[in-house]
Structure 1
Amino acid sequence: MPVELNFLSLLTGCFATPVAENPTVAMVEAAYRAMGLDARYINCDVAPADLGDAVRGARAMGWRGFNCSLPHKVAVIDFIDELAPSAEIIGAVNCVINEDGRLIGENTDGKGFLASLKTVTDPRGKHVVVLGAGGASRAIAVETALAGAASITVVNRDAARGKAVVQLVAAHTSAAAEFVPLKDDYVVPGETDILINATSIGLFPGVNDLPAVDFTSLRPGLVVADVIPNPPHTAFLRTAETHGAITLDGLGMLVNQGVIGIRLWAGREPDAKVMRGALEAVFGA
């Protein structure tokens, strides 16, 4: 009997590596094996013009759900039935759940980061600085604000994009929100509790690249997080550690995104340690 394809992935081919080496595929497949699930997680390249057909096909074939990556996170909304509350605020979807033929869009980016962040600190009442204003920044800013952060400061070179994230936070959460244009190295304010690199700076192969931060403004005890999973221990985190910061790598965010997705699709809790181990094997961590 062939394996029934219940829990599947719809991606855009954002990873340049073969499917066998795709870190997300390796992570989720490892979780399925450990859970004894008769299911597969596969990688599909879908051109933007074909997205609607792909979503209709997933529904017709009874896929339990799928992930989607850039450039489909916003466009996919036109082809699904409903948005979860935070996905509606963020305006982007990376995880879709098939509930009896009805497709529900979720955004697990910010939720995955928040779950990882809570292993080192609770954002409630904290002052958070987010570097960058892309999709990861939007999701993280919204979710940390919804979790009770006192303030969100978005630092970015492009003022329009930075202000858009701030307006989103201000309109939908009780957190104070501020935009700071990035011109020179950013001096981290003394009241900051959590500093997050939500940019792609430092991602392989640019492993020695650093965000424009004045590292002398970091202090012992400041929580410094990076969303980049490859390499897990980025130059940003290594430099922050030399100033006494508590650091959080991007693997935790990626693992928790996967955990949330599997929970939504299968109604069961996967083993996060197995999933992290699979990622570490791919990245050689």
Structure 2
Amino acid sequence: MTAALPDPPHARALTSDTILCVSMSARPSNFGTRFHNYLYNAYDLNYVYKGFAPADIAAAMMGVRGLPIRGAAVSMPYKEAVIELIDVMEPSAAAIDSVNTIVNDDGMLRAYNTDYQAVADLLTDSGFDRGWAVAVAGSGGMAKAVVAALRDTGFTDVTVVARNTQTGTDLAGRYGFAHRSAVDDADRYALLVNATPNGMSGADADRLPFPEAVVDAAFAGFDVVALPSDTPLVRRLRAAGKPVISGDSVIAGQAAAQFALYTGVTPSPELVREAADYASRG
């Protein structure tokens, strides 16, 4: 029998003093809304969180600054587009030119990247062999966090696989890695990392980020897609009994770091697990 998931703590009533945090994504989900609000309620914080799909990111950022909104999570495709709209790029964002978290300090917008820390933590704990050859699909904002985390956790043989030659070669060259527009050599890569929308709900839901032969020859995988976390890459590798890190671990880790930035409260590991379990239901 599956253990029952926790019910959310009792919610506070909204008041004129309630602090607003938001997420901005082309495909907003309920995960962040449920995760953050669960923790706000658990810690009895007068905050509320809401997701949006902005039609105009520049106008949305003006709203963040002017309302003022305390924090804003940023997802695809805005992780690079918001850079020119930020006042201060903190080291985690500046190092990889990608933003996933904005904190509003009295009208001063500060940018961070908690994706990077979440990925680095998971790689550190993975037990994956640092001598493995790694292929990373993608060259956008999430791929930047992944490639930087791979480098910083000791991986040295990394190939960025991206059809966009400009962004792919730029990302690979920044860290001294290789770029290829596609891979088909089945025995080359031991670890496969998906940092593209392939596997995400919608038009990309059934797509593998690598050819089947490449996936079948790999030793392990890491898919950053969280919604759903049971992607085609994850399913295929798990069916073969191979270790996989899935996107639900990434989204929980980065969201917990965002919560701490917005509120100044570091959530306990137990409450993070509860919040992630609750968020995954919606």
Q: State the alpha-carbon separation in 1 of the partners of residues 16 and 26 from structure 2.
A: 23
Matching of residues 39-188 of structure 1 within 5 Å: 39-48=47-56, 51=58, 53-121=59-127, 127-170=133-176, 177-182=177-182, 185-188=184-187
* Residue in structure 2 matched with residue 174 of structure 1 by the alignment: none
Matching of residues 26-45 of structure 1 within 5 Å: 26-45=34-53
* Residue in structure 2 matched with residue 235 of structure 1 by the alignment: 232
Deviation at 1:28? Answer: 1.6
Deviation at 1:257? Answer: 1.4
* 8 Å Cα contact 2:136/2:193 also seen in 1: yes
What's the % identity of the aligned pairs?
25
Amino acid at match of 2:243: I
Deviation at 1:73? Answer: 2.5
SS of equivalent residue, structure 2 residue 154:
coil
* Residue in structure 1 matched with residue 272 of structure 2 by the alignment: 272
Q: State the alpha-carbon separation in 1 of the partners of residues 257 and 277 from structure 2.
A: 17
Deviation at 1:147? Answer: 3.2
Range with bigger deviation, 145-154 or 263-272? 145-154
Deviations 1:189-212 (A, max 9, x none): 26x3x3211122222245443233
Q: State the alpha-carbon separation in 2 of the partners of residues 100 and 234 from structure 1.
A: 40
SS of equivalent residue, structure 1 residue 9:
strand
Structure 1 pair 210/80, CA: closer, same or farther in 2 (3 Å)?
Answer: closer
Q: State the alpha-carbon separation in 2 of the partners of residues 7 and 130 from structure 1.
A: 35
Q: State the alpha-carbon separation in 1 of the partners of residues 131 and 91 from structure 2.
A: 22
Using structure 1 for the length normalisation, give the TM-score. 0.80
SS of equivalent residue, structure 1 residue 281:
coil
Using structure 2 for the length normalisation, give the TM-score. 0.81
Deviations 1:99-124 (A, max 9, x none): 35422111222222223333423786
5+ residue gaps, structure 1: 16-20, 171-176
Aligned alpha-carbon RMSD (Å): 2.6
Structure 1 pair 57/239, CA: closer, same or farther in 2 (3 Å)?
Answer: closer
Deviation at 1:169? Answer: 2.1
Structure 1 pair 57/6, CA: closer, same or farther in 2 (3 Å)?
Answer: same
* Residue in structure 1 matched with residue 207 of structure 2 by the alignment: 209
Q: State the alpha-carbon separation in 2 of the partners of residues 267 and 157 from structure 1.
A: 40
* Residue in structure 1 matched with residue 11 of structure 2 by the alignment: none
SS of equivalent residue, structure 2 residue 174:
helix
Q: State the alpha-carbon separation in 2 of the partners of residues 148 and 238 from structure 1.
A: 27
* Residue in structure 2 matched with residue 18 of structure 1 by the alignment: none
Q: State the alpha-carbon separation in 1 of the partners of residues 129 and 43 from structure 2.
A: 32
Deviations 1:262-281 (A, max 9, x none): 11111112222022212321
Q: State the alpha-carbon separation in 1 of the partners of residues 110 and 131 from structure 2.
A: 31
Deviations 1:109-151 (A, max 9, x none): 2222223333423786664321222222122111221333323
Instruction: Give the paired residue count.
Output: 263
Deviations 1:16-74 (A, max 9, x none): xxxxx6222122212222222110011234332x62x4434433434322122344322
* 8 Å Cα contact 1:142/1:168 also seen in 2: no
5+ residue gaps, structure 2: 1-13
